[in-house]
Amino acid sequence: MARLTAPTVTEAPWRALVLAVAGLYFLVPLAASVVFTVDVPGQGLTADAYARVLGTEGFLPSLLLSLELAAATIALVLLLMLPATLALRLSGNARLRAVVDVVCSLPLVVPPIAFVAGIGTVLKWGPEHLSRTPLFQTFVAVQNPDFPFVLVLAYTVMALPFVYRALDAGLRAVDVRTLVEAARSCGASLPHALLRAVLPNLRGALLNAAFLTLALVLGEFTVAQLLGFRPFAVWIVNISGSQAQMSVAVSVMSLLVTWLLLLLLAGLGGRRTPSPTTDRK
């Protein structure tokens, strides 16, 4: 069995150098963007560009809409994929696993333009052919501008490859069958065994899936724009076309908002309830 060895003295500088180069690659353009937004010739340092962004009409409604869409998409995609991946792991069916793998990878193959064109065709076909059926109201409801559920459905499909890979990687690191059999031998039902024995060990995988889905929803532009809705990404593009400094300020703010949300999600997911043993100490 191979043993893990500590990094040698010659390896440590190379790792530090690689990390430093990667950090400069990401931080230097961001720092230059921040300087461009706050350094006004003749006025010195000022945050006027960011104040104008916050005071621009549509900033808060579009951001809240994107957050609502992200929360709904995370809930829906996990509700679909978590039971499916658990069932695949427990069944051990290699053929079915290959089918699910291919199906979940299809959104990476289909271009977003073709995907949204298909959605638009269905949305136009439905009201024309189902106007006298109860489904007509369903087509109207999913296109409500206040909360376009059709975007949640589209984002769920687009997030399938990332969520599936994250959950599959987490399940590969856990002996699900042994955990379930141990819980069942103690008298727990199958749902209770999955809830209390398996899910706590998938905390990292669930957080990774939520991270990827949140980043996808906040940054997605093509589908929302072509369907005529205005979440945060569409608002950024529409508002930042005329003024260069304000355009860069909006981009910087979008990055900061995404990072803060990811850190908040990581912080909430990293909290653990104290065990009974620690309570007795």
pLDDT in tens, 131-159: 777 777 887 888 888 899 999 999 999 99
Q: Which residue has 């006027």 as its token pair? A: 48
Q: Rounded to whole angstroms, how far apart are CA atoms 7 and 120?
A: 55
pTM of the model: 0.80
- Burial of residue 107 (CB within 10 Å: 0-12, 13-18, 19+) is middle
Q: Rounded to whole angstroms, how far apart are CA atoms 151 and 136?
A: 18
SS3 label, residue 39: strand
Q: Are 74 and 156 in contact (CB under 8 A)?
A: no
Q: Which residue has 């069942």 as its token pair? A: 184
Asked if the model's pLDDT at residue 225 lies above 80, the reply is yes
Q: List for the chain the helix, strand, coil content (%; round to 5).
A: 80, 0, 20
Identify any residues that bridge with 44 across adjacent strands, giving them in sequence order: 40
CB atoms within 10 A of CB 124: 11
pLDDT in tens, 33-67: 888 888 777 776 777 777 777 777 888 888 899 99
| Longest alpha-carbon distance in the chain | 76
Q: Are 252 and 168 in contact (CB under 8 A)?
A: no
Name the more confident of 280 and 233: 233
SS3 label, residue 57: coil
Predicted pLDDT at 241: 65
Predicted pLDDT at 185: 83
What domains lie within the chain, and their CATH numbers?
A: 34-266 (1.10.3720.10)
